[in-house]
Amino acid sequence: MTIPDDWGLSGKVAIVTGGGAHGDGIGNGRAAAILLARAGVKVVVVDRDGGLAKRTVEMLQEAGGEGMAFEADVTRSADCAAMVAAAVQRFGALHLLDNNVGIGSRGSVVDESEEAWRRVMQVNVESMFLSSKHAIPAMRKAGGGAIVNVSSISAIRPRGLTTYTVSKSAVIGLTKAMAVDHGKDGIRVNCVAPGPVYTPMVYAGGMSPAARETRKNASTLKVEGTGWDIGAAVRFLLSEQARYITGQVLVVDGGTSLTAPERDSR
């Protein structure tokens, strides 16, 4: 089988949740949206902050792509239904979904509050459940599609972020279950597990230069990851290049999970 130069993506319609980023920074969702648009995908960029989603659309348009911004809170079922309806109304179908929303947490089960536990699970897991719940029927109508859920290497290498680790482990379980459930619909479901990439979410938190250097050197490659690395992995798994891949976890961490250093929170 010959895969076209556009990776079989041209003309497809995608939703990227969590597709905004601070300023002109490149987060995982923004990178995926831009890279998909460059490949000819029509991208619906979803973010709780509509202004951030709009900026991503401007950036992908500057790169020659086509897209629309949609403001939504993907922890709400009604918002997820509305974003799918908007994609179909604007572009005629839905083929691809990048479930990219997530928040962090720190500490053990003793340290974590019950409220924080529930919120992390809601944002990191339930949002993907809801987005997929409403996207999959539209994908069936389109003849199939692909979904990528974004997890984390914390799911396979716990390091003092217990609630976050559990939520990201659940994302992997959700991915595998959905792959089994919806293979018959022609829908592939895979997972990307990023390592400690340097994104606006990280540097907006005020990470020190020393901590940044420690993170970089934790990689066996001694290279700092960026949102582009994650976006490229998402694009690959959504593309026809990955037509025979489903239910899998692609770790994108420069080898960091092989060395598993202690967490440095400076």
Give the chain's count of helices (H) and strands (E). 10, 7
| CA 158 – CA 164 distance, rounded (Å) | 9
Amino acid at 204: A
Task: Name the region of 186 (left: φ>0; alpha: ψ -120 to 50; beta: rest).
Answer: left
| CA 237 – CA 226 distance, rounded (Å) | 18
- In angstroms, what CA-CA distances link 188 with 79, 175, 240, 256, 259? 24, 10, 10, 27, 31
- Closest among 72, 69, 11 to 42, alpha carbons compared: 11
Do 169 and 155 meet the contact criterion of CB atoms below 8 Å apart? yes
Do 43 and 33 meet the contact criterion of CB atoms below 8 Å apart? yes
Beta bridge partners of 68: 44
The residue with tokens 């709780």 is 48
Three-state secondary structure call for residue 16: strand
Catalytic residues: 164
Do 96 and 142 meet the contact criterion of CB atoms below 8 Å apart? no
Do 155 and 250 meet the contact criterion of CB atoms below 8 Å apart? no
119 half-sphere exposure, CB direction, 13 A CA radius: 8
